[in-house]
Amino acid sequence: MDGTRKAALFLMSLGEEVASQVMKHLEPKEVQTVGHAMSKIEKIQKDEAESVLLAFNDSLNDSTSLGMGSIEYVRKVLTKALGDDKAQGILDRIQLGGVNAGLDQLKWLDAKVIAEMIRLEHPQIIAIVLGFLEPDHAAEVLAEMPQRIRHDIIMRIATLDGIQPTALQELDSIMLKHFEGKDQYKSSSVGGTQAAANILNFVDSSIESGIMDSINETDSELAEDISDLMFIFGDLMDVDDRGIQALLREVSTDVLVLALKGSEEGMKDKFLRNLSKRAAEMLADDMETRGPVRVSEVETAQKEILAVAKRLADEGTIMLGGSGEDFI
């Protein structure tokens, strides 16, 4: 069993009341993922349920409260796991969330709702809001914003250098319309060129190119910095064979066929040689017999694979960028 199914089985064994209390502490994507897994479970074997409960019990017995709850402890663990920059970014969000719960509530809102809520605000406020969201969520919000200000928003995200209390107070005035505001604030390192690049990675290519063209006209150096940090489908050529094999286990054949239809031969060969002989032959046949496909379909499939690649990189399963030390 994978972790998601284990979590789903465990929650179902707790009963509705307790399970609902646990779910309150999960992130939106976690709720969606676990909820989907729970909806797919029709029959639970007795030994399967027992194994999950025993595993949880063993994990609980192995746990200790020593050192837990200490921000310094969390800082050390995150720094060792993710490096200074990523650790600081996460710590900022953790600490900020404790004093401004309204910002955290944005994660639960639909992109259209957020866009409607901030549409008439100053682009700097919009940039701060998007900087707090997950890149794919922020990309959905960005797509809902007027085309004329999209490049301005991305430029502001890329050039954000911390958020001062006054800016947070301004943002909180928006949140007060929907959530309970807080009156204590802390500066946070949100934004930067990497944040801008991450958001653009999830934006449709037509929107992305328009934004980048506009940024290039205004600040060519900033446009180049953002472009250098963006991860595109062609960059998978730098992933080693072991990483490609891990990626293949997570991607459906239909998505792979579409993504590779618009790829160069070198990319096709890279994926094919990391499949078994039979699987490679079947994939090659599928690509050959597949009729003409829209460019938009190819781009959507490639972005789906890129999203999986980034997730696996964040989990430490694969390394993006070849043999380098850094993970994206």
Instruction: Give the residues across from 163 on adjacent strands.
Output: 188
pLDDT score of 178: 54
Question: Given its phi and psi angles, is residue 119 left (phi above 0), alpha (psi -120 to 50 degrees) or beta?
Answer: alpha
CB 284 within 8 A of CB 261: no
Residues ≥6 apart with Cβ < 8 Å to 21: none
Two tokens at 250?
A: 């997570």
What is the spatial distance between Cα 168 and Cα 187, in angstroms, rounded to a whole number? Answer: 8
Q: What is the pLDDT, as a whole number, of residue 150?
A: 92
How would you classify residue 203: left for phi > 0, otherwise alpha for psi between -120 and 50, otherwise beta? beta
CB-based contact 38:11 (threshold 8 Å): yes
Q: Give dist(CA 156, CA 297) in Å, integer.
A: 30
Q: What is the pLDDT of residue 244?
A: 92
Burial of 326 from C-beta contacts in 10 A (0-12 / 13-18 / 19+): exposed
Instruction: Compute the radius of gyration of the chain from its Cα atoms.
Output: 22
Class level of CATH domain 100-229: mainly alpha
pLDDT tens string, the chain, 328 residues long: the values are: 677 888 888 888 877 888 888 887 777 777 878 888 888 787 777 777 778 777 777 766 655 444 445 566 666 766 766 667 666 666 665 554 444 445 666 777 788 888 888 887 888 888 888 888 888 889 999 999 988 899 999 999 998 876 666 666 666 666 655 554 333 333 445 568 878 887 887 777 778 888 988 998 988 889 888 887 777 788 888 888 988 999 999 888 888 998 898 788 888 999 999 999 998 999 888 888 887 888 888 888 888 888 888 788 777 788 875 433 333 3
Q: How far is CA 74 from CA 68, 190, 192, 248, in A?
A: 8, 19, 23, 33
Q: Using CA atoms, how far apart are residues 105 and 113, in angstroms rounded to an integer?
A: 12
Fold topology of 233-314: Annexin V; domain 1 (1.10.220)
Of 252, 142, 244, give the one whose Cα is nearest residue 199: 142
Same fold, 100-229 and 233-314: yes
pLDDT, residue 323, reads 36
Q: Give the per-residue pLDDT at 318.
A: 83
Q: Backbone phi, then psi, for 193, in 5-degree steps?
A: -60, -35
Domain boundary assignment for the chain: 3-62, 100-229, 233-314
The helix, strand and coil proportions of the chain, stated in percent and rounded to the nearest 5, come to: 70, 0, 30
In angstroms, the CA 113 to CA 116 distance is 5
Q: What is the structure's pLDDT at 89?
A: 62
The reported pTM is 0.41
